[in-house]
Structure 1
Amino acid sequence: MTELLIGLVITIAVGYYIVKGYKAAGVLLVAGILLLILAGFLGHTVLPKGITSTGNLLTDSLEYVKYMLQYRNGGLGLQIMLLCGFATYMTHIGANNVVVKQFSKPLSFIKSPYVLLVAAYIVACLMSLAVSSATGLGVLLMATLFPMMTAMGISRPAAAAVCASPAAIILSPTSGDVIVAAEKSGLPLHVFAVETVLPVSICAIIVMSVAAFFWNKYLDKKNNTPMEKLDISEIEVKAPAYYAILPFLPIVGVFLFNGETIPGLTLDIYTIVVLSIVIGAVVDFLTSRFNGKETLENLEACYAGMGDAFKGVVMLLVAAGVFAQGLMSIGAIDNLLALADKAGAGGVALMLLLTALTVAAAIATGSGNAPFYAFVELAPQLAVKLGLSPAFLIIPMLQASNLGRTISPVSGVIVATSGMAQISPFEVVKRTVVPVLCGLVTVIIGTMILVPMYA
């Protein structure tokens, strides 16, 4: 329990200093390195499997920082930088203004920005079927839907929360955690994912949409949050109307090429964004009547946006990753598992306990997958002891891990969306917490109604 107490104290300290205005990246990095060093002193393994130890626990903590820099820059970090660069480029050449102008006309009859917010949230949830990564989807939505939402009068925190939330509830029947959950539940994938999880997910999304409507409206009024709705007549548009399609090229590309829509041709999100930038540059070149110098100068905005993304977003993700590894290395997650194993509770009480522990671990680590993969191993064993159906325990845990990540100020999706929106991660979490709690209650009730408790 000592390790759990240390993790809790340091996590509270991290929240305190970030709220006090300290730079989040620095606070998380210092806390993560401290946790890794303490883990080494307590006899725990500092580095995860696959990373060779330096032979010293102090330098092992720095070795993990190096690993995270390499991992984030080559993977998710590159995706974020590309999408931020693309978004900056679209703004620079005037494509985003064209989108706002074009979409403002048919949507002008909707007077409430909160109705638009709900519509945007549902569209974002459908996008999660195509993009499995929560952070990747959040960044994609920030680069495409966020400018349009804020221009339509949705406040920046509310718009960022919409971009951060769609992966909170699982819709895709083929995501990795759903496949693992189905296996541990002992059910065929189609029965588990489509007949059991999907109805619960749809109900949760509906409830979260309603909660988001009222909660964001309440917070905007309470905090007198600036609404940035633009007067259509005041929007300066220099680019031609066909530029309106350019900001949505990554979304179109995801549906066309990130799968088997076109047989024999599959592109990942990185290549899709690069292709989108190239198409944008070609269109800009043709529109400027083959003015190559101007086209290349416009592309400089893309490179500048990528650099800003590294400074403002990627380094936050690196720091958050180090902090999460510190919590796991020191044994905080193992202690939570031990608590669940010792609980001599009935079926409903055990389900609630496992769900609560999963949410707590997801909030603390900022990861949805790590707590779920750790806890799901325990669920079948506990179910057998009490004669329960494993699915009754696993389904709420599956959804709780993703919901918990959405209210974690150190999760990748919250860090990325808040960084791109240039607001505090806590401001985004404040917007997501009530809809997430409503979604969690819906998941628990839905499980109790639709899933048999006993095997």
Structure 2
Amino acid sequence: MTELLIGLVITIAVGYYIVKGYNAAGVLLTAGVSLLIIAGLLGHSVLPAKVASTGNLLTDSLEYVKYMLQNRGGGLGLQIMLLCGFASYMTYIGANNVVVKQFSKPLSFIKSPYALLVAAYIVACLMSLAVSSATGLGVLLMATLFPMMTAMGISRPAAAAVCASPAAIILSPTSGDVVVAAEKSGLPLHVFAVETVLPVSICAIIVMAVAAFFWNKYLDKRDNTPMERVDISEMEVNAPGYYSILPFMPIIGVFLFNGETIPGLKLDIYTIVIVSIALGAVVDFLTNRLDGKATLSNLESCYAGMGDAFKGVVMLLVAAGVFAQGLMTVGTIDNLIALADKAGAGGFALMLLLTALTVAAAIATGSGNAPFYAFVELAPQLAGKLGLSPAFLIIPMLQASNLGRTISPVSGVIVATSGMAKISPFDVVKRTFVPVICGLATVIIGTFVLVPMYV
């Protein structure tokens, strides 16, 4: 219980100092390293099994910072830098302005920016079928849809929240979480994913879209949030009309090549973005009448965007990862699991308890996978003791882990989207909070109605 209290106190302190305006990356790094040191003093292993110890408690704590820089800086961090560089390049050569100009005509009959927000959210949710990473999808949407949404009158916090939210509800029947959940539920994958989870997911997405419409409209009015709607008649567009396809090349590439759509050709998101940048440069080179000097000069905006992304987004992700590791290492998650194991509750009460604990762990750590994988091991055991269907407990936990991540100010997707939008993570969380609560309530009700409680 001591470890749980330590985790809660430090988590509250982190929130307090970030709200007070302290540098978020610095606060998270300080808290994370402190938790790792405390964990070592309490006798816990500071480093995960795959990271070799340095032989000293203090240097082990810093060794994990190095590991996160290598892991996130070279993996997810590289993806973020590439996409941010691509977005900067598209803005610099005028492609984003062309998109806004062309799309404004067919969308001009939609007077409410909040109706556009709902449409963008539905499109983003469908894209989660192609991009499994919540942070990767959020960054991709920020690089492609975000400039268009803000230009059409959607406020920056609302647009960033749309980009951060599509992976809050799992739609893909082949995601790793769903495969594990089906196995622990004792059901065939197609029965669990398509016949059981999918109807609940669709209902939750509809409810969240409606909630996002009214909640963002209310917050924009209450806070007098500035809108950036562009007067299309006064917009200066110097690039040719065919540039409008360039900003969407990463999205097109994901659907074409992030699988076996074209036999024998499969590209990951990193290569897709690099190909998109290269194609953009080729188009720019031809448009500029083979002026290589101008083309290479324009590419400088891409490199500058990548550097800004490392400074503003990637370091925050590294810091959030260290903080999450500190919370898990000190024993906060293990203590939450112990609370669930000791709960002598009935079927529905137990489901609510496990769901609440999963959400709490996801908010604290910023991870959707770690809390679910930790708690899902308990579900079959607890279900067996009470004669419950494991699926009745597991489905809300599966969705709750992803929903909780969407309202965590230290989660990768919130940090990345807020960093790219140049706003506080708390501004994004404020926008996602009510839709997430509505989505969670829908998941719980849907599970109660559609999934048998007892075996």
Shorter-chain TM band? over 0.9
Aligned counterparts of 1:243 and 1:81: Cα–Cα separation in 2: 22
Partner of 1:340: 340
> In structure 1, what is the equivalent of residue 20 of structure 2?
20
Say whether 1:293 aligns with 2:297.
Answer: no
Any residues of structure 2 matched to 1:32-431 within 5 Å, and which?
32-431=32-431
Aligned residues: 455
Following the alignment from structure 1 to structure 2, what is the Cα–Cα distance between the partners of residues 91 and 234? 17
How far apart, CA to CA, are the structure 1 residues paired with 2:140 and 2:118? 18
Letter of the 1:42 counterpart: L
Task: Give ranges in structure 1 of 5+ residues lacking alignment.
Answer: none
**2:302 maps to amino acid:** C
State how far apart, in whole Å, the 2-side matches of 1:172 and 1:235 are.
Answer: 39
Structure 1 residue runs of 4 or more that deviate by more than 4 Å after TM superposition: none
1:354 deviates by: 0.1
Output the CA distance in 1 between the equivalents of 2:48 and 2:135.
Answer: 22
- Please, what TM-score do these two structures have when normalized by structure 2? 1.00
Partner letter of residue 269 of structure 1?
I
Query: Partners of 1:165 and 1:275 in 2: how far apart?
Result: 27
C-alpha distance after superposition, 1:416-454 (max 9, x if no partner)? 000000000000000000000000000000000000000
State the one-letter code of the partner of 2:201.
S
1:371-398 CA distance string (max 9 Å, x none): 0000000000000000000000000000
Paired with 1:295 and 1:344, the residues of 2 have a C-alpha distance of: 68
State the TM-score, normalized to the length of structure 1.
1.00
Q: Following TM superposition, by how much is the alpha carbon of 1:234 offset from its aligned partner in structure 2, in angstroms?
A: 1.0
Residue deviations 1:118-154 (CA, integer Å, cap 9, x gap): 0000000000000000000000000000000000000
Which AA in structure 2 matches 1:49? A
* Identical aligned residues as a percent: 88
Measure, in 1, the Cα distance between the counterparts of 2:216 and 2:361: 26
Deviation string 1:153-194 (CA, Å, 9 cap, x unpaired) is: 000000000000000000000000000000000000000000
* In 2, Cα distance between equivalents of 1:143 and 1:301: 14
Residue 8 of structure 1 is matched in structure 2 by: 8
User: 2: CA distance between counterparts of 1:404 and 1:298?
Assistant: 40
Distance 2:57 2:130 in 1: 41
Match of 1:297, as an amino acid? S
Instruction: Report the alpha carbon displacement of residue 342 of structure 1 after superposing the two structures with TM.
Output: 0.1
Distance (whole Å) between structure 1 residues aligned to residue 402 and residue 234 of structure 2: 41
Superposed CA RMSD:
0.3
In structure 2, runs of 5+ residues without a counterpart are: none
Distance in 1 of aligned mates of 2:11 and 2:427: 18
Paired amino acid for 1:205: I
